């Protein structure tokens, strides 16, 4: 069996052999980009190169980038546990051309890597191309179609609309059509619907790799001006490609997850694969323990705002799923140790900060357990009352009270409702929240968070070398991970 770590290094080696400089993953906290919550793709650290604002000593690069997709534009938090292919934290393999090669080489490289190196079955692969867009005064991407036709029959080259197959950095600036490579995993992965086909939301037609052809500069009036030197940005999820290569049904079955899944089994006494509902919880915990370990390692602290709030949500969601498995004492920091073991070769800094990362997670666990005990008791009483009276909507007032008085997160209520087929009166909740915001504007006395952060920083001073904001190691050129 080919390990994910081997796929990671083969990918980088493949592109190194083709003139690419291997660039180390940047931090999950984007440098100099306050508009972005987290690094969510390989291209983020190269943004200024694509914009022509920064020159580097290379025009071809490849990386395996730590990514986080929770909160912000790409938010996969709610998918985790329910699809076989989504994580909050994952690694994105990517190759990049800054005004050097374009579509022809990008497509050739991708095909050669997947088919010749990883030996994926050619007859199961599809490629998508942009179908064009009258509103943008743009025709179909025939250039990409012709290039794909060298490898694939016509009926496996599919035209997709702008919403799926056109990428833009922002409202103006670099943009262009994309091609996605999809593999048909077979009907057993499908949703069973009669019109399940590539592009369907289920796991059958798995999107492996996205090739972005940065071809235009979009002007404020919407005109697309061809770039004199178009660029390439690609991204392929390491866990997805590893699942396909290893022939396992989901990302959670690959070798990188094995020690993590085993740790959760050992702590909870539940076997992964034995019960569908429990599997959701096991997967959520596995995913979120990776996210928590890497976020804390990159200098994020649990808080009620911004990045810290996402970290807090991730930890709390994992703890709640822990309760479903009967884990009501702090356990996530122990799972995080398994994460460090499984990822230490590629990310040795995790081990350097092992004590710090576990202490921060453990402290947050202890605080939240108290809240959770109390909130869940209240919520369960209410659910019983609703059941007795034949109702199935959790009132907004209760959701608000839980949040406002006890700090009990709203997404836990919605998650819990979803698992028992209840709905939540979010409108009622929102309007109470709005009133509350108005009130607190009038009576602001500070959030008290500063004191809490102090506790974490204390832990940090004792045991870690983590910097708290904007921490990023320099790129190490040519370094093979």
Contact positions toward Mg ion, by CB under 5 A? 207, 210
Give DSSP secondary structure letters for 115-183: IIIS---GGGEEEEEE--BGGGTB---HHHHHHHTTTS-GGGEEEE-HHHHEEESSSSEEEEEEEEEEE
Q: How far is the CB of 380 from ligand ATP (least distance, A)?
A: 32
Which two tokens mark 480? Answer: 């093979």
- Is residue 364 close enough to count as binding ligand ATP by CB under 6 A? no
Nearer Cβ to ligand ATP, position 25 or 210?
210
237 sits near ligand ATP (criterion: CB under 6 A): yes
Q: Name the percent of the chain in helix, strand, coil, to the closest 5.
A: 50, 15, 35
Is residue 460 close enough to count as binding ligand ATP by CB under 6 A? Answer: no
Establish if 240 lies at the interface with ligand ATP (CB under 6 A).
yes
* Residue 152 vs 178, nearer CB to ligand ATP: 178
Considering the complex, what minimum distance in angstroms separates the CB of residue 114 from ligand ATP? 12
State the DSSP string of 226-270.
Answer: EEEEEEEEEEEEHHHHHHHHHT-SSGGGSGGGHHHHHHHHHHH--
* Single residue of 11, 14, 15, 90 touching ligand ATP by CB under 6 A: 90
Shortest CB 309 distance to ligand ATP, Å? 19
In the complex, minimum distance from the CB of residue 453 to ligand ATP, in angstroms, rounded to a whole number: 29
Residue choice 131, 141, 203, 207 for contact with ligand ATP (CB under 6 A) = 207
In 3D space, the residue among 211, 105, 225 whose CA is nearest the CA of residue 167 turns out to be 211
Token readout for 139 is 């025709």
Shortest distance (Å) from residue 473 CB to ligand ATP:
23
Tokens representing 6 are: 């081997």
Do residues 161 and 39 touch, judged by C-beta distance below 8 A? no
Which CB, 23 or 67, lies closer to ligand ATP? 67
Output the smallest distance, CB 376 to ligand ATP, in A: 28
Q: Is 402 in contact with 432 (CB distance < 8 Å)? A: no
DSSP bridge partners of 346 = none
Picked from Mg ion, ligand ATP, none, the partner binding residue 69 (CB below 5 to 8 A depending on kind) is ligand ATP
- Dist CA 47 CA 200 (whole Å): 30
Separation of alpha carbons 214 and 466, rounded Å: 36
The piece of 10-18, 126-134, 203-211, 363-371 that touches ligand ATP (CB under 6 A) is 203-211
- Binder among 14, 76, 148, 316 for ligand ATP (CB under 6 A): 76
User: Exactly one of 8, 20, 47, 87 binds ligand ATP (CB under 6 A); which one?
Assistant: 87
> In terms of CB distance, is 133 or 352 closer to Mg ion?
133
Binding partner at 71 among ligand ATP, Mg ion, none, C-beta below 5 to 8 Å by kind: none
b/e 99-118 (16+ beta carbons within 10 angstroms → b): bbbbbebbbebbbebbeeeb
DSSP state of 61: E
Taking a C-beta distance cutoff of 8 angstroms, is the pair 212, 234 a contact? yes
Closest distance between Mg ion and the C-beta of residue 468, in Å? 30
Helix (H) or strand (E) holding 440: helix 426-442
Residues 6+ positions from 316 with CB-CB distance below 8 Å: 368, 372, 409, 412
92 three-class SS: strand
Task: Pick one of 37, 77, 92, 336: the residue that binds ligand ATP (CB under 6 A).
Answer: 92
Tell whether residue 47 is a contact of ligand ATP (CB under 6 A). Answer: no
Should residue 302 be labelled a site residue for ligand ATP when binding is judged by CB under 6 A?
no
Helices (H), 269-329: 276-297, 306-324
Among 210, 231, 268, 353, binds ligand ATP (CB under 6 A): 210
Comparison of 169 and 372: residue with beta carbon closer to ligand ATP: 169
Residue 97: enclosing H or E segment and its boundaries? strand 89-97
Q: Tell me how far, at minimum, the Cβ of 74 lies from Mg ion, in Å.
A: 6
* Part of the chain binding ligand ATP (CB under 6 A), chosen from 202-210, 221-229, 274-282, 391-399: 202-210
Of 239, 253, 279, 364, which one interacts with ligand ATP (CB under 6 A)? 239
- The item of Mg ion, ligand ATP, none sharing an interface with residue 86, based on CB under 5 to 8 Å by kind, is ligand ATP
Q: Does residue 295 touch ligand ATP according to CB under 6 A?
A: no
Least Å from the CB of residue 213 to Mg ion: 13
Whole-number Å distance between alpha carbons of 67 and 63:
12
360 DSSP β-pair partners? none
Q: Residue from 47, 86, 270, 312 that binds ligand ATP (CB under 6 A)?
A: 86
User: Encoding tokens for residue 347?
Assistant: 């990310």
Instruction: Please report how close the Cβ of residue 211 comes to ligand ATP at its closest, in angstroms.
Output: 9
Is position 209 an interface residue for ligand ATP (rule: CB under 6 A)?
yes
> Considering the complex, what minimum distance in angstroms separates the CB of residue 374 from Mg ion?
36
Residues that bind ligand ATP (CB under 6 A): 69, 76, 85-87, 90, 92, 207-210, 235-237, 239-240
């Amino acid at each position: 069996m080919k390990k994910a770590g081997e796929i990671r290094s083969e990918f980088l080696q493949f592109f190194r052999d083709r003139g690419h400089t291997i660039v180390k993953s940047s931090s999950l906290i984007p440098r100099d980009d306050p508009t972005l919550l987290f690094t969510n793709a390989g291209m983020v650290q190269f943004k200024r190169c694509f914009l022509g604002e920064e020159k580097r000593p290379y025009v071809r690069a490849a990386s395996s980038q730590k990514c986080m997709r929770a909160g912000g534009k790409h938010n996969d938090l709610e998918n985790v546990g329910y699809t076989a292919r989504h994580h909050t934290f994952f690694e994105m393999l990517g190759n990049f051309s800054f005004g050097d090669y374009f579509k022809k080489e990008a497509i050739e490289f991708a095909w050669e890597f997947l088919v010749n190196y990883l030996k994926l079955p050619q007859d199961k692969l599809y490629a998508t191309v942009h179908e064009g867009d009258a509103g943008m005064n743009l025709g179909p991407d025939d250039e990409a179609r012709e290039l794909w036709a060298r490898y694939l029959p016509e009926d496996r080259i599919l035209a997709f609309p702008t919403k799926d197959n056109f990428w833009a950095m922002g409202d103006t600036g670099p943009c262009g059509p994309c091609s996605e490579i999809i593999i048909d995993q077979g009907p057993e992965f499908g949703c069973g619907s009669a019109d399940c086909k590539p592009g369907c939301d289920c796991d059958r037609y798995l999107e492996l790799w996205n090739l972005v052809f940065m071809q235009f500069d979009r002007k404020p009036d919407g005109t697309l001006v061809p770039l004199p030197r178009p660029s390439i940005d690609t991204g392929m999820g390491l866990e997805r490609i590893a699942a396909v290569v290893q022939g396992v049904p989901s990302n959670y079955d690959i070798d990188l997850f094995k020690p993590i899944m085993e740790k959760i089994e050992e702590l909870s006494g539940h076997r992964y694969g034995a019960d569908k509902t429990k599997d959701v919880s096991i997967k959520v915990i596995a995913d979120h323990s990776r996210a928590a370990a890497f976020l804390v390692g990159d200098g994020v602290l649990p808080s009620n705002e911004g990045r810290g709030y996402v970290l807090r949500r991730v930890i709390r969601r994992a703890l709640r799923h822990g309760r479903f498995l009967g884990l009501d004492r702090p356990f996530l920091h122990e799972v995080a140790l398994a994460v460090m073991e499984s990822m230490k070769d590629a990310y040795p800094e995790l081990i350097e900060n092992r004590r710090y990362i576990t202490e921060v997670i453990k402290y947050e666990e202890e605080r939240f357990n108290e809240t959770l005990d109390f909130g869940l008791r209240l919520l369960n009483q209410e659910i019983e009352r609703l059941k007795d009276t034949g109702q199935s909507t959790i009132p907004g007032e209760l959701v608000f009270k839980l949040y406002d008085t006890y700090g009990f997160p709203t997404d836990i209520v919605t998650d819990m409702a979803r698992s028992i087929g209840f709905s939540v009166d979010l409108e009622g909740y929102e309007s109470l929240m709005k009133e509350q915001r108005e009130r607190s504007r009038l009576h602001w006395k500070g959030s008290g968070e500063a004191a809490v952060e102090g506790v974490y920083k204390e832990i940090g001073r004792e045991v870690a070398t983590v910097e708290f904001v904007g921490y990023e190691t320099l790129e190490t050129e040519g370094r093979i991970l």
